[in-house]
Amino acid sequence: MRKLMAVLSAAVLTATGFFSYHIYSTPYPTAPSETCGTDFHLTAIGPGLDNLSLEDDYAQYQWALKNDGNLSQTEQKLNFASIDDAYIRRGNGRIAAIALPPLGPSNFSAIKTQAYPGIDIHIRDAWAQYESIPNKRPVTVALIDTGVDISHPELKNAIWTNADEIPDDGIDNDGNGYIDDVHGWNFLANTNQIYVGREDVHGTHAAGTIGASKKDGGIMGITDNSYVKIMVLKALGGEEGSGSPESVISAIRYAEANGAQICNLSFGAREVTQEFIDTIKNSSMLFIVSAGNGDIYEIGYDIDKYPVYPASLPFDNVLTVANLLFDGSLDDSSNYGPYSVDIAAPGVMILSTIPENSYGFMSGTSMAAPMVTGAAAMIYSARPDIDLLTLKNILIYSAHRLSPLKGRMISSGMLDVTAALNWDK
């Protein structure tokens, strides 16, 4: 039985060391309460109406693909202005620490955010056009993350297979140094076990956004997984969802050696090694990278001034993604940067696959990056005439410009898949 649930066990991570990479996501509450509520208000579902998909039970909750304006969110947030300055220490123009006095109702503000119709990635026309395009190019997406539950019914047809490897024979058939690497590799344990359990929620969620099957009873992924396959490279894990630079570097090299063209990196660190920087710089892949989820108070900051990596790397093969709220504004937690960040994509309350044949909502720039990765793979498949640098530029220049994003990223806009598919044709 398939289950729709909130993800309550996903790691909420901050850097514990300079050379440890951490995933950027937060779980979403299951139901409204007095202090925090998020509701979908479904006006109508049924034949003859403008539905995203009647064959996918949970598609109605995928506002990033079709935003009807039926979602609202109410939060009780601490009002810093109501706290005496004696309790607040500031550094570099930001709040560095708070010693909280006794708090009352006057210290909190109720903030309601209502979805704005049409703030979505404009995918449906692109899907219709894609189906009619002949000679589509096969694309391999490297997902360097936690592991992925590849047994999930929505993902079983989306996973890359190493055609040169014979499954479970204990032999390195293709001579690449990895035994039975049929669908990828676990660079933490140095095994072919790419799913180990609930610690792999983050990667499984990203995989569903990119390539979940359509008309299969659950959700809808962005790509057509007949042409786009996901190479699962587990380089993060454990309770904190962290990984070493060595594991990530090895995963990047594996991905490139095995034909991946696009690579999703939904993690970051304050400092990285020179080898890590050089590995990305010298790679032939296009890296889609999450911008990060702000400081310890989940307040986004300018990563031009306070870099995080790989998001702040100034390379042509890096595209950095911020987290867009369903009203067209940047989420408060999302990092930004006029030069480091390229584009925004939906990343709040994103429904996707999670382990054990389930579905869950998650939020963060980790959810926004796979939106762009899926779109990039789809367009690259549909447009055999373009290279990866051209693909990056198309995604940026075709973005739907939004006034709240002006000056906060290069494109000043959000992902628009249909516009990108038709750019400069």
For position 262, which CATH number holds?
3.40.50.200
Inform me whether the pLDDT recorded for 269 exceeds 70. yes
Q: Which two tokens stand for residue 113?
A: 């955010």
* Count of all residues that appear for the chain in the document: 425
Cα–Cα distance between 421 and 123 in angstroms, integer?
A: 10
What local confidence, expressed as pLDDT, does residue 74 receive? 72
Q: Which of 55, 80, 114 is the C-terminal boundary of a domain?
A: 114
Nearest to 23 by CA among 245, 186, 265: 265
What local confidence, expressed as pLDDT, does residue 231 receive? 98
Say yes or no: 379 and 403 in one domain.
yes
Residue at token pair 């998909």: 53
Say yes or no: 97 and 155 in one domain.
no
Position 135 in a domain: yes
Q: Which helix (H) or strand (E) holds 248?
A: helix 245-257
Say yes or no: 132 and 92 in one domain.
no
Question: Are the C-beta atoms of 35 and 15 separated by less than 8 Å?
Answer: no
Say yes or no: 135 and 205 in one domain.
yes
Position 39 in a domain: no
What local confidence, expressed as pLDDT, does residue 72 receive? 80
Say yes or no: 107 and 140 in one domain.
no
Nearest to 185 by CA among 229, 233, 144, 133: 233
Cα–Cα distance between 179 and 22 in angstroms, integer?
A: 28
Position 119 in a domain: no
Beta strands 267-268 and 21-23, pairing class: antiparallel
Beta strands 286-290 and 318-324, pairing class: parallel
What local confidence, expressed as pLDDT, does residue 395 receive? 98
Write the pLDDT tens digit of every residue in 351-399.
999 999 999 999 999 999 999 999 999 999 999 999 999 999 999 999 9
Q: Which helix (H) or strand (E) holds 26?
A: strand 26-27
Dihedrals phi, psi of 234, to nearest 5 degrees: -85, 110
Position 22 in a domain: no
| 3-state secondary structure string across 356-413 | CCEEEEEECHHHHHHHHHHHHHHHHHHCCCCCHHHHHHHHHHCCEECHHHCCCCCCCE
Position 93 in a domain: yes
Nearest to 266 by CA among 119, 151, 366: 366
Say yes or no: 159 and 307 in one domain.
yes
Say yes or no: 132 and 101 in one domain.
no
Say yes or no: 323 and 397 in one domain.
yes
Q: Which helix (H) or strand (E) holds 313?
A: none
Position 7 in a domain: no
Cα–Cα distance between 389 and 407 in angstroms, integer?
A: 23
Helices (H), 214-323: 245-257, 274-281
Nearest to 259 by CA among 225, 230, 224, 289: 230
Q: Domains in the chain: how many in total?
A: 2
Say yes or no: 202 and 247 in one domain.
yes
Say yes or no: 359 and 271 in one domain.
yes
Q: Is the peptide bond before 29 cis (omega within 30 degrees of 0)?
A: no
Higher pLDDT, 411 or 10: 411
What local confidence, expressed as pLDDT, does residue 207 receive? 98
Mean pLDDT (the chain) is 85
Residues labelled catalytic: 145, 202, 366
Burial class (CB in 10 A: 0-12, 13-18, 19+), 332: middle
Inform me whether the pLDDT recorded for 85 exceeds 50. yes
Position 46 in a domain: no
Write the pLDDT tens digit of every residue in 393-409.
999 999 999 999 999 99
Q: What domain range includes position 81?
A: 71-114
Position 371 in a domain: yes
What local confidence, expressed as pLDDT, does residue 248 receive? 96
What local confidence, expressed as pLDDT, does residue 37 receive? 42
Question: Are the C-beta atoms of 123 and 59 separated by less than 8 Å?
Answer: no
Say yes or no: 99 and 243 in one domain.
no
Mean pLDDT of 46-69: 77
If DSSP codes are grouped into helix, strand and coil, which group holds residue 19? coil
Q: Which of 89, 114, 139 is the C-terminal boundary of a domain?
A: 114
Say yes or no: 269 and 410 in one domain.
yes
Q: Which of 8-17, 102-111, 261-270, 278-287 has the lowest mean pLDDT?
A: 8-17
Please, what sign has the CA dihedral across residues 345, 120, 205, 157? negative
Q: Which of 82, 114, 146 is the C-terminal boundary of a domain?
A: 114
